[in-house]
Amino acid sequence: MVEITVTNVEEYQAIAKEKLPKTVYDYYASGAEDQWTLAENRNAFSRILFRPRVLIDVSKIDLTTTVLGFKISMPIMIAPTAMQKMAHPDGEYATARAASAAGTIMTLSSWATSSVEEVASTGPGIRFFQLYVYKDRNVVAQLVRRAERAGFKAIALTVDTPRLGRREADIKNRFTLPSHLTLKNFEGLDLGSMSKAEDSGLANYVAGQIDRSLSWKDVKWLQTITSLPILVKGVITAEDARISVEMGAAGIIVSNHGARQLDYVPATISALEEVVKGAAGRVPVFIDGGIRRGTDVFKALALGASGIFIGRPVVFALASEGEAGVRKVLQMLRDEFELTMALSGCRNLSEITRSHIKTDWDPPIATARL
């Protein structure tokens, strides 16, 4: 077989499509309904242009940052993506090792095919745990305690999924978790398997288990059962950013769930600045959705993000080359981001400013008369 030289993150998607069963690929790749937001998550980045500054000494560039007090090598982290063993037998183990080797944070999904304990057993690393709130609150409390005991450092509470979005590819494929896999975190609670369905097995699972009554008071409740910082994941408006801060969130993740929930919401990069203004500097704001290039990372930071999370690139690289693929994705994004900083005249993250980019919602720049 001819060795394929992968030169950018996007190329892993085509390789994954070749390698994966259609049902699995479609589950990872698709969005909700018309998939307008799915395309827009990418397209919106292409409408943001650079205003690079020149003749700045960029011989030394520092990408390091701190997230919730934890020092990481770069502002590029791994978002929670479910059921990674469908992509590769090593699944979340490989992702955890790759994140640790890159000196960055991995977020483990509630619906992982490896448990919090198994992921912790891969060795040291800074890890967050993404939480879905089940109807049975004892299940939630138990899971949060297990994540704490396993050394996870924060909870990313998903708030945009009282019901599962209409993912038509999953309906057509009658998607369900392959029978040799389980949702490992729920295995001992008889909640680890997904039954076959006439439509999407996952949608049926969510309808049966996930709490539709979840509200802001539950963010407060979560703080009574854990001392871990809580990131509210799934905020795309200033109003909800303000309430998140008032309710004691430690941070906000601007996310539209990879365009898999409500179609025709804006791209996350288009919503970012509004959320940053709503948070008013009181908590850090992060973003996921559509990030495929180091230039995208820079644009997000210029609009006020403290860091970014990548989801699909991880599962596509995992499907293509296992742990080595995930390592490579992180390295490629790092290298591209560092190059973008150099070519924009920024030596560290604090030098990346709003004036380094131009958006289509900016007022015209007033130029001084000569």
Which residues, 6+ apart, have CB-to-CB distance to 357 below 8 Å?
A: 48, 49, 50, 51, 298, 299, 302, 303
Give the chain's end-to-end CA distance (angstroms, integer). Answer: 62
Share of the chain above pLDDT 90, in %: 87
186: amino acid identity, one letter: F
Exposed/middle/buried for residue 312 (C-beta within 10 Å: 0-12, 13-18, 19+): buried
Q: What is the pLDDT of residue 187?
A: 82
- Whether pTM > 0.85 for this model: the answer is yes
* Nearest CA among 136, 144, 65 for reference residue 108: 144
Q: What is the pLDDT of residue 99?
A: 98
* Nearest CA among 225, 233, 274, 272 for reference residue 251: 233
pLDDT band at 367 (very low <50, low <70, confident <90, very high): low
CA distance 110 to 156: 10
pLDDT band at 116 (very low <50, low <70, confident <90, very high): very high
* H helix count then E strand count, the chain: 13, 12
Residue 363 has pLDDT above 60, yes or no: yes
Q: What is the pLDDT of residue 190?
A: 64
Residue 1 has pLDDT above 60, yes or no: no
Q: For residue 179, what are its two tokens? A: 């029978």
Question: Is 88 designated active site?
Answer: no
The angle subtended at Cα 366 by Cα 363 and Cα 369, nearest 5°, is: 165
Q: Read off the pLDDT of residues 56-68 as tens digits, 9 standing for 90 and up.
A: 999 999 999 999 9
In terms of residues, how long is the chain?
370
Phi, psi of 325 (to 5 degrees): -65, -45
Placement of tokens 């994941």 in the chain: 233
Element (H, E) at 252: strand 251-254
Q: What is the pLDDT of residue 192?
A: 52
- Higher pLDDT among residues 22 and 368, named by residue: 22
Q: What is the pLDDT of residue 196?
A: 66
Exposed/middle/buried for residue 152 (C-beta within 10 Å: 0-12, 13-18, 19+): buried
Number of other residues whose CB lies within 10 A of the CB of residue 123: 10
CA distance 356 to 328: 28
* 319 within 8 A of 329, measured Cβ to Cβ: no
Phi, psi of 65 (to 5 degrees): -155, 175
Catalytic residue chosen out of the listed positions 88, 180, 257, 356: 257
CA distance 56 to 64: 20
Q: Read off the pLDDT of residues 219-245 as tens digits, 9 standing for 90 and up.
A: 999 999 999 999 999 999 999 999 999
Q: Read off the pLDDT of residues 54-112 as tens digits, 9 standing for 90 and up.
A: 999 999 999 999 999 999 999 999 999 999 999 999 999 999 999 999 999 999 999 99
pLDDT band at 199 (very low <50, low <70, confident <90, very high): low
